[in-house]
Chain A
Amino acid sequence: MMSLEHPVSATLTPRPRVEGERAAPRWNARRRTAVWGFLLIAPMMIGYTLFFVLPFIASFLLSFTNWTLLSAPVWVGLDNYARLLRDTSFQESLQNTVALTVPNVVLRITISLFIALALNTKLKFRNFYRTLFFIPVLTMPVATATVWQWLYDPTYGPINAGLATFGIDGPSWLLQPEWTVVALLVVLLWGGVGYDMIIYLAGLQGIPRDYYEAAQLDGAGFWRQFRDITVPLLTPTIFFLLIIALINSFQVFDLVYIMTRIDTSGTTFPTLVYYIYEEGFRNFRMGYAVTLSWALLAILIVFTVVQFRLQRRWVHYE
């Protein structure tokens, strides 16, 4: 069992008795807290069970069936899982997804941290800069895809035109898988950095200013403050962004679907969720699509568990 321990034992530590406080047995206080805990999570858990857990369970059962969506599912036992193991399309889509996810997560989290740090100072025009970085996040996906398709146009687009002025013959960004991954990565970063920046900024606001003042009195420079105060106190935020970025990036679909699709069918760069969509809704194999989703879930759970395990080493809670 993984542990989410953190120093939150306030209610359990012995403390001096205050006048008027009843001397209740400790287990009673504990139980009262537990009841409150359940009460406060109840609305979330009820809705979650209804709209997420039940569909999960249904989809788990469906992974043992052949389901065209047009008629009742047919039980096929472990066939879908057997197919999964020897499915080269699945492996290809997984490779594509990983190739996109790893650089995306790392770059996103680092770039946005530095932008947020720069914009958390008393800099002139900082609100203006924040808006610049955040506008891509606000843009509707349809507009994002349309605009970037034009930017990436191999013959007439400004990116390759710019490369040509340096004598570089630009590639066909959205057709050659080795370049598609770069092209998609840039769009993901473009649309994601502003998002992380906001979360970082909100996290930075939560760091008490007197910590910095104290450090300055001790003569600590920018880098020491960054290393000893900012980063440690920001680790819960970094941890959060790491998990979310990984999960989101593994599920990338819209962008691939809109940007790399030729005519009405197919892409040269299928990602995992794209493959799931195609199997479930275009190839009449929802049973297998659900199986693929469970494979994706298993991968993500492993990653998340590892991260939670590792967090004890580096995430610092108050």
Chain B
Amino acid sequence: MKRDLHDLGRHVAKLGSRGASRRAVLRAGVAGGATATAASLTGSRHGQRSARAQDAVTISYGYWDVTQEAAVEAQIAAFQEANPNITVSAQVTPWADYWTKLQTGVAGGESWDVFWLNTANLPVFASQDGLVNLQPLVDDGSIEVDAFPASLIEAYSYEGSLYAASRDVDTIGLYYNSELFDTAGIDYPNDEWTWEDLRSAAEALTIGSGDSAEQWGFAVTTSFYESLTGFILQNEGRYWNDELTESQLAEPAAAEAINYLSSFIDDGLSPSTDVQLTNNPFETLFPAGRVAMITGGSWRPKPLYEANPAINVALLPIGKIRAAPTHGLGHAVWSGSQHPEEASQFVVFLTSAEGEQILADSGATLPSREGMAETWLSTVPEVDLEVFIETVTEYAVAIPNGPDGSEWSSAIVETLTTAWGSGGSTEDLPQQLADAANATL
């Protein structure tokens, strides 16, 4: 009994010293109290067992990107060193199976205590009580939201409370192959580029035409985030009306952007989706020098540069306005976790300067916490990564909201895939896209 109380005291003190929330402390107190009562009722043996259980806790951590495994393991090692009583067991599950596993676990009552979440899934997880509300940790200063881009904090908030702590940030830029520009004798893309410049450069860089081309000037991909969204935002277009009840893709602003992208396919300046399906542009066509330009995410410089050192990056060409989508992953705590305090402690560590610094050092991705940029820039010094920093800090906006789930964006990608392939037609594509999106409501 005495030992029990002693342990509880130590536990609370420890939580306090790590700056955990008052609510977490409160909850630990309640749990401890319940344990004490139970112990007094059932005898000390039971109490001692609980006490030991509090001593050594294992929490699980789910994430999907296997290429970031080293960074994740390094973060865990540092956390465990500082918290010898907590063991973090990490499991990487590839994206294609991640949600199946996560949702089965949540429904079945045994899932990861802490897991990666993207912004698109935050509203549904938060509104369905799937996540622990992290706002108390924000209120007591454990999670320093001011150190993160406001757009990401907003994206991970639901009804005024934070539900996932920002981990990293990404945006998109215009990648180009400098060697192909040199050969064609054209200037590299620069800050001043407009949509017209991109188009004329693509024409000059295309050798041959259509799917039999030897080289394409610009690859238009069907990626929702890396391709379509940037152009729609730059033309001041929108995906949905404010009530999220009607797609706005057929409205002039968005339609213009869509037709602009289609023109590259129609005029044979970009490989069609037929080619892209089996030759992933980022894994094959672009690094192999068959494509001169492509818009892509800020997590790509390292593998692209390693595959082809002629690759560099520039700002997205400017449209009506300068804009680019931004996104980032977050750490969420599962509401069914048996160890919410320890899980929260881990999330606090991950978002701390120390945790984010480890991520920056690894070069895996750009951490979202301020002050990490310098380290990240130095991981691939040959590529102009400043472009992404500039985009994130000055022009980037969060991915536009849509109805819950990924159904509507999947429908858009499916429609684009068909339209930009040999079996489809780009005629009236904006209307086709709007119809496809509306059909998912």
Taking Cβ atoms with an 8 Å cutoff, the residues of A that contact B are 67-71, 149-150, 152-157, 171-172, 174-176, 257, 261-268, 277-278, 281-284, 286
Contact = CB atoms under 8 A, between A and B. Distances in A.
A174 B278 contact: yes
A302 B423 CA distance: 36
The 10 closest A-B pairs by CB, nearest first: A70-B128, A176-B423, A153-B278, A172-B274, A265-B410, A266-B414, A70-B130, A69-B107, A69-B103, A71-B128
Contacts of A174: 277-278
B103 A281 contact: yes
B94 to A, nearest CB: 10
B139 interface: no
27 contacts: A68-B124, A70-B107, A70-B125, A71-B130, A150-B278, A155-B211, A155-B212, A155-B274, A171-B422, A172-B421, A172-B423, A174-B278, A175-B273, A175-B274, A175-B277, A262-B222, A262-B273, A262-B413, A263-B221, A264-B95, A265-B406, A265-B413, A266-B410, A267-B414, A268-B418, A281-B100, A282-B410
Contacts of A155: 211-212, 274-275, 279
A70 B417 contact: no
A262 B417 contact: yes
B272 to A, nearest CB: 8
B103 A175 contact: no
A154 B423 CA distance: 12
Contacts of B417: 175, 262, 266, 268
A176 B422 contact: yes
B433 to A, nearest CB: 13
B405 interface: yes
Given A176-B421, A262-B413, A152 B278 contact: yes
Given A69-B103, A268-B418, A157 B130 contact: no
The residue in B107, B130, B276, B404 that gathers the most chain A C-beta atoms within 10 A of its C-beta is B107
Interface of B is mostly: helix
Contacts of A261: 96
Contacts of A156: 278-279
Given A71-B130, A154-B422, A266-B413, A281 B99 contact: yes
The residue among B96, B106, B212, B417 with the most chain A CB atoms within 10 A of its own CB is B417
Which DSSP category, helix, strand, loop or mixed, fits chain A's interface?
A: loop
A172 B411 CA distance: 20
**Interface residue tally on B, bucketed by range:** 35 or more
A282 B128 contact: no
A275 B199 CA distance: 39
A154 B277 CA distance: 9
A315 to B, nearest CB: 39
B257 to A, nearest CB: 19
A278 B211 CA distance: 31
A282 B406 contact: yes
B423 A175 contact: yes
A244 to B, nearest CB: 25
A68 B127 CA distance: 11
Nearest to B108: A69
A70 B106 contact: yes
A175 B422 contact: yes
B409 interface: yes
Interface in B205-245: 211-212, 221-224
Interface in B75-118: 95-96, 99-100, 103-104, 106-107
B140 interface: no
A268 B277 CA distance: 12
Contacts of A266: 410-411, 413-414, 417
A129 to B, nearest CB: 31
A149 B280 CA distance: 11
Nearest to B221: A263
B405 A284 contact: yes
Contacts of A268: 414, 417-418
B65 interface: no
A265 B409 contact: yes
Nearest to B129: A71
Contacts of A281: 99-100, 103-104
Contact of B106 (A69, A153, A262): A69
Interface in B380-418: 404-407, 409-411, 413-414, 417-418
Contacts of B224: 263, 265
Interface in B410-441: 410-411, 413-414, 417-418, 421-423
Which among B103, B104, B212, B413 has the highest number of chain A CB atoms within 10 Å? B103
Given A176-B423, A281-B100, A283-B405, 17 more contacts: A69-B103, A70-B130, A154-B274, A156-B279, A157-B278, A172-B423, A174-B278, A175-B418, A262-B277, A263-B222, A266-B414, A266-B417, A268-B414, A278-B410, A282-B406, A282-B410, A286-B103
Nearest to A286: B107
A124 to B, nearest CB: 39
B397 to A, nearest CB: 22
Contacts of B100: 277, 281
Contact of A154 (B128, B129, B278, B406): B278
Nearest to A263: B223
A150 B410 CA distance: 24
